[in-house]
Amino acid sequence: MGQHDGFGKGITYVDGKWVEGNAPLMGSMTHAVWLSSVVFDGARAIRGMAPDLDRHCARCIDSALKFGLAPPVTAEEIFELAWEGIGKFPADAVLYVRPMMFAEDGFVAPIPESTRFALVITDSPMPDRGGFTACMSSYRRPTADAAPTDAKASCLYPNSARALREAAGRGFDNAVVCDLLGNVAEFATANLYCAKDGIAYTPVTNGTFLNGITRQRVMKLLREAGTEVVEQTITVADLKDADEIFSSGNYAKVSSVTKLEDRDLQPGPVAKKAFELYMEFAETARR
């Protein structure tokens, strides 16, 4: 298998067959190359477990439709192909599963019938459980009337990249990004939770960030286990007063903030519980 960026060895399903490595998908005149008609989703396969894989496949379809694309496959077909691809790796592999769709033709607006599909599966170890540092970003999440925030779209990620570059320049791993009103929206690469006095809080969805599948799962699992979870507007002052801050997202699942700006933090009991509950749930997602 070939190399694919920093994700390690990978395979790609495109045009009805599996191809090893970083398969070429687009030409210089492909609509997606210069006009950004790319949507994707990301799921995890962890040692034979693929939690919420069906929901990630369904969201890829939903994102494509919101982008004006015409999906050439169904969510069920993506799901089956994903398991087929997972089966091509060792049983103990830790993988990133990325279905994607993009337009081949069109001028500004994509031609729906030109939509193409690819499924990429790469080796991708889980991040270290030691947590990460974060700062406040000067960049903001766009509103729903200014960008396609209701889709998982590639065109939204350059703004996250700006926030990450800014954070790295200040010596931090990630950044907390606010909405245009200055309230906390999410991290640059994941949804955000904080905890105070044993209660978990997460920003209420307001159209500026995706209501992540892992975010929803963590919320459900914590509530079922007896932890109160509150969705509300969260301010920067709320973060500064929180007992713990952590992320939820497909790539790392649950990861704690160890420093926010100049304040040191420790991984706390709510984040620990959330991660343990998630991994217990993941055990039910085997074939």
- Domain with 157 in it: what CATH number? 3.20.10.10
Please tell me whether residues 70 and 139 are part of one structural domain: no
Q: What is the pLDDT of residue 3?
A: 32
Please tell me whether residues 278 and 155 are part of one structural domain: yes
Please tell me whether residues 179 and 252 are part of one structural domain: yes
Please tell me whether residues 165 and 114 are part of one structural domain: no
Q: How far apart are CA 102 and CA 90, in angstroms?
A: 30
Please tell me whether residues 103 and 57 are part of one structural domain: yes
Please tell me whether residues 140 and 69 are part of one structural domain: no
Q: How far apart are CA 8 and CA 159, in angstroms?
A: 25
Q: For residue 8, what pLDDT band results from cuts at 50, 70 and 90?
A: confident
Last residue of a domain, one of 123, 147, 176: 123
Question: Is the distance from CB of 60 to CB of 40 less than 8 angstroms?
Answer: yes
Please tell me whether residues 188 and 102 are part of one structural domain: no
Please tell me whether residues 98 and 12 are part of one structural domain: yes
**Does residue 117 carry a pLDDT above 50?**
yes
Q: What is the pLDDT of residue 105?
A: 98
Assess if residue 60 is contained within a domain. yes
Buried/exposed code over 74-106 (b: 16+ C-beta within 10 A; e: otherwise):
ebebbbebbeebbeebeeebbbbbbbbbbbbeb
Q: Stretch 154-168: mean pLDDT, rounded?
A: 98
Assess if residue 12 is contained within a domain. yes
**Does residue 284 carry a pLDDT above 90?**
yes
Last residue of a domain, one of 100, 123, 146: 123
The model's pLDDT over 204-228, given as tens digits with 9 standing for 90+, comes to: 999 999 999 999 999 999 999 999 9
Within the chain, where are the H helices?
31-35, 53-66, 75-86, 157-169, 213-224, 236-241, 269-282
Task: State the total domains in the chain.
Answer: 2
Assess if residue 224 is contained within a domain. yes
| Cβ-based burial of 6 (10 A; exposed 0-12, middle 13-18, buried ≥19) | exposed
**Does residue 5 carry a pLDDT above 60?**
no
Residue 232 three-state SS: strand
**Does residue 174 carry a pLDDT above 80?**
yes
The model's pLDDT over 183-199, given as tens digits with 9 standing for 90+, comes to: 999 999 999 999 999 99
Q: Any idea what the CATH number is for the domain that residue 67 is in?
A: 3.30.470.10
Domain extent, residue 224, equals 132-282
Please tell me whether residues 35 and 137 are part of one structural domain: no
Tokens of 165: 């570059």
Please tell me whether residues 208 and 252 are part of one structural domain: yes
Q: What is the pLDDT of residue 1?
A: 32
Q: How far apart are CA 224 and CA 124, in angstroms?
A: 30
The model's pLDDT over 66-116, given as tens digits with 9 standing for 90+, comes to: 999 999 999 999 999 999 999 999 999 999 999 999 999 999 999 999 999
Question: Is the distance from CB of 250 to CB of 43 less than 8 angstroms?
Answer: yes
Assess if residue 212 is contained within a domain. yes
Last residue of a domain, one of 61, 88, 123: 123
Please tell me whether residues 68 and 147 are part of one structural domain: no
Q: For residue 182, what pLDDT band results from cuts at 50, 70 and 90?
A: very high
Q: How far apart are CA 120 and CA 136, in angstroms?
A: 33
Assess if residue 271 is contained within a domain. yes
Assess if residue 287 is contained within a domain. no
Q: What is the pLDDT of residue 2?
A: 33
Long-range Cβ contacts of 6-12 (<8 Å, 24+ apart)? 7/96, 7/122, 7/123, 7/124, 8/122, 8/123, 8/124, 8/125, 9/122, 9/123, 10/120, 10/121, 10/122, 10/123, 11/85, 11/88, 11/120, 11/121, 11/122, 12/118, 12/119, 12/120, 12/121
Please tell me whether residues 199 and 67 are part of one structural domain: no
Q: How far apart are CA 84 and CA 78, in angstroms?
A: 10
**Cα–Cα distances in angstroms (integers) from residue 109 to residues 40, 68, 89, 118, 152, in the given order:** 18, 8, 38, 21, 18
Question: Is the distance from CB of 275 to CB of 254 less than 8 angstroms?
Answer: yes
Q: Tell me the percentage of the chain whose pLDDT exceeds 70.
A: 98
From the list 111, 125, 112, 103, the residue with the least C-alpha distance to 46 is 125
